[in-house]
Amino acid sequence: MNTEIRNLEPKALWNKFADLNAVPRPSKKEERVIAFMKVFGKNLGLETMEDEVGNVIIRKPATKGMEDRKVVVLQSHLDMVHQKNGDTNFNFDTQGIEMVVDGDWVRAKGTTLGADNGLGVATIMAILESNEIQHPAIEALFTIDEETGMTGAKGLKGGLLKGDILLNLDTEEDDEIGVGCAGGVDVTATGTYAETDAPQNAPTFTIQVKGLNGGHSGMDIIKGLGNANKLMNRLLFATKDFMQLAKLEGGSLRNAIPRESVANVVVSSEEKFLAAFDKMKMDILSEYKSLEPNLSITAKKSDETFTKVMNIDAQKIFLNAMNAAHNGVYRMSPDIEDLVETSNNIAKVSVENGSIKIECLTRSSVESSKDVLANALTSVFELAGYKAKLAGDYPGWAPNMDSPILKVLDSLYEKMNGAKANVAACHAGLECGILGQNYPEMDMISFGPTIKGAHSPDERASISSAQKYWEFVLEILKNIPKK
């Protein structure tokens, strides 16, 4: 398991990753990893501090001969997405990640791996610990809560950092140099509904959607993957005349495309319900047979009993609202080929005991387009009689194609690999846009090793890519421009 990981090359990187992954670090619960990083810095005899929101900053002087170079901020986030398979017994609050080697990939056993952004953190740790790597003066910035609100980046005050250049190590394709990203906003609808007595002696069915790929709600949204909440709503809408909803739970995290949804319904006509269900099931399976080969849709009679169900009128309003709420790509960029400009992920849906909650994450690289989609969702939910709230708004990062550090990385990549890097913006939230608000003069760039399936239990990191990336990092540090 983790011993096998420690023998991978480059050992400096993988050993620090194994150390980090032994520390529980789900978003919003970073206390242990903050303490871990502070002990790490202080044990190296380096200036180490925690700011008022929980970000950790460690400073290391330049190596001999590099004192005249610009100060570099190496930045990654400490938290990780906590997703697991339904049949995996794992507690993210208390357990370290269990890793395995699978060919050229490092994976976790039934959970997210934490390579996003743990490999970036481990890279910085290895550089801080080394007595051999050439580098300019370094400010290591480890932010918190990137995955569920970017509150660490938002809370970092201006003036704390003195660096001229920021290297964000949170891009997930090793041939890509990131120069821009999308902003985002959380759209949450809450409401109540009238309940009525469940029909006596009527059977209860449990409808389950599972086996979807899931994935990153920004980077993977372009793939058109199945969203468990939208698929469940199609099944409920198709059978609405023959059942009443008692309970519904779908999805788990705003920034992950939902993989599973479970609904409990009380059925008035078993035969008609199953006929309508089976027809819609076959339609969905046919539509997604190439994209979602492991998709499973079932309706099974249950022994569970419910005394209350959703009122028919309230059910109609809820299902119509879910039908109308946009999910997926909303607009492609007219300026950058194959870049999603604006999208929405209907991430979590909960219906129980007279209460409804629908949680979305809307992303866009264009602020006005983000507002348009957020307002459209708000309109749908308010027309349904629900309260809609916008929160956690963060800006995108506008590309600067004249960036001096971009020119350094672009030239080095081609020299080392014999091919041009893909200089691109991405449809994910990077912290550069937020950090740039308080540090507008800082020259920023993003890059990283190849990571697939981020935000899902299929997350995996390429071993060969990590070697390529590590060599790139070391060469970049050697070539930081003079002050």
- Give the rounded distance of the alpha carbon of 419 from its chain centre: 29
Residue 79 is among the residues annotated as catalytic for this protein: yes
Give CA–CA dist 436/168, Å, rounded: 12
Q: Is the dihedral of CA 346, 292, 221, 459 positive or negative?
A: positive
Active-site residue, from 146, 147, 176, 220: 146
Other CB atoms within 10 Å distance of the CB of residue 422: 12
Position 158, amino acid: G
Residue 431 is among the residues annotated as catalytic for this protein: no
Give CA–CA dist 411/397, Å, rounded: 22
Annotated active-site positions, please?
79, 146
